[in-house]
């Protein structure tokens, strides 16, 4: 898939460069050169506006990706704390808590993570998380130390629920269609406007058109790959959950 995308980008850039030679036959550079001053002023405004918009979208998409990755570690921190809480409970409650934590992590890695790439979540993971929260809330400790651990477990259960909801929301938080339309239309206008310039060397003009098209197409590809944090080449992997599973398996 990536190879085809790269070929399409280079094909579009080559087509934009080749278009200069066709334009030269229709409207020679000498006729276009007389308006270079006006075109240059307008193009500077158009180019800067589009570059700023594209840059802001890239930064926003990258921040969403980084926020999503950080959120997964917050979710797994809560899971590890709940596992430790289960380790301190009497049987059979302790084993039940540990089992639910392990099951939740396993389901998220093996079942839910592939579904996140399609902006969906796992019903099974939701069910296990609810069972885990209800089991923790059902504890009624009496000793002061047990009460303190119970309060920490409640905080961890709340953190788990919040982090999970945020992860599901971020999985569906893509770039709006209207913004995509603006990015694509703005790219076409910005690149197309560069044809109005008249340069003495047609080859140099073709190289300029090739470079501009290639740069904007590559940036649009970056935005596309960062569109959803759980899909694409650059995506959030379940590394935090795998690490948490390794940690709890080492607890005696």
CA distance linking residue 129 with residue 159, whole number of Å: 12
- pLDDT tens across 91-137, in order? 888 899 999 999 999 999 999 999 998 889 999 999 999 999 999 88
| pLDDT for residue 241 is more than 70 | yes
- Residue 133's nearest CA partner among 111, 165, 110 is 165
Rounded Cα distance between 8 and 107, Å, is 38
Whole-prediction pTM:
0.82
Q: 37 falls in which pLDDT band (50, 70, 90)? A: confident
Alpha helices (H) along the chain: 2-26, 29-33, 36-88, 93-107, 113-116, 123-137, 144-171, 177-193, 202-225, 239-249
Q: Identify the band that residue 29 occupies on the pLDDT scale cut at 50, 70 and 90.
A: confident
3-state secondary structure of 142: coil
pLDDT of 252 > 80? The answer is no
**Residue 96, pLDDT score:** 93
* Domain spans in the chain, listed from the N-terminal domain onward: 72-174+237-252
171-222 pLDDT, tens per residue?
A: 887 888 888 998 999 888 888 888 888 888 888 888 989 999 998 888 888 8
């Amino acid at each position: 898939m990536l190879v085809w995308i790269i070929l399409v980008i280079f094909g579009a850039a080559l087509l934009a460069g080749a278009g200069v030679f066709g334009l030269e036959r229709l409207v020679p550079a000498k006729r276009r050169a007389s308006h270079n001053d006006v075109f240059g002023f307008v193009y500077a405004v158009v180019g800067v506006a589009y570059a700023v918009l594209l840059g802001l979208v890239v930064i926003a998409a990258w921040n969403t990706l980084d926020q999503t990755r950080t959120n997964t570690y917050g979710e797994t921190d809560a899971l590890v704390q709940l596992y430790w809480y289960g380790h301190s409970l009497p049987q059979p409650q302790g084993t039940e808590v540990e089992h639910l934590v392990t099951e939740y992590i396993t389901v998220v890695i093996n079942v839910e993570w592939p579904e996140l790439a399609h902006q969906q979540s796992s019903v099974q993971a939701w069910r296990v998380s609810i069972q885990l929260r209800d089991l923790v809330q059902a504890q009624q400790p009496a000793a002061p130390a047990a009460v303190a651990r119970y309060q920490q477990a409640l905080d961890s259960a709340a953190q788990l629920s919040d982090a999970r909801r945020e992860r599901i929301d971020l999985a569906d938080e893509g770039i709006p269609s209207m913004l995509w339309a603006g990015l694509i239309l703005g790219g076409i206008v910005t690149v197309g406007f560069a044809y109005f310039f008249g340069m003495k060397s047609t080859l140099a003009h073709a190289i300029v058109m090739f470079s501009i098209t290639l740069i904007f197409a590559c940036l649009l590809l970056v935005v596309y790959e960062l569109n959803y944090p759980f899909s694409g080449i650059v995506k959030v992997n379940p590394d935090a959950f795998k690490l948490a599973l390794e940690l709890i398996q080492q607890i005696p």
